[in-house]
Amino acid sequence: MNINNIIDWFGNRGVSAYDMPINNKTKYKIVNDWLFIDNKEYQEVELYYLNTIYCEAYNGWNNKTFDWSNKNLLKKIELANEY
């Protein structure tokens, strides 16, 4: 999935590019069916589940100190799955 697919994913769920400023410089990573994306407007890395019709962030973390390692991302997904 590239950045244009992510923009489309948000758009198909009613979130315009003006509401969620995303561009080619936006940092993101997809692990399994989860999207981690840096929302610079709120200074957070937000977590979204991609296999749903809803566009709700499951959680958010400070983007200045966020650890983008696969080990950390998998741990955060595991915690999100507990809910």
The pair of structure tokens assigned to 14 is 């009613």
The DSSP line for 23-39 is -TT--EEEETTEEEEEE
Separation CA 37–CA 76 (nearest Å) = 13
Domain-wise residue ranges, the chain = 3-81
Please tell me what DSSP assigns to residue 50.
Answer: S
Predicted pLDDT at 20: 78
pLDDT of residue 12: 93
Going by pLDDT thresholds of 50, 70 and 90, the confidence category of residue 83 is low
Distance, in Å, from the CA atom of 50 to the CA atom of 33, rounded to the nearest integer, reads 5
pLDDT digits over 2-60, tens only? 989 999 999 999 988 777 778 888 999 999 999 999 998 889 999 999 999 999 999 99
How far is 80 from 34, CA to CA, in rounded Å?
Answer: 10
Who contacts 36 (Cβ-Cβ below 8 Å, separation ≥6)? 28, 29, 30, 45, 46, 47, 68, 73, 76
Average pLDDT over residues 74-79: 95
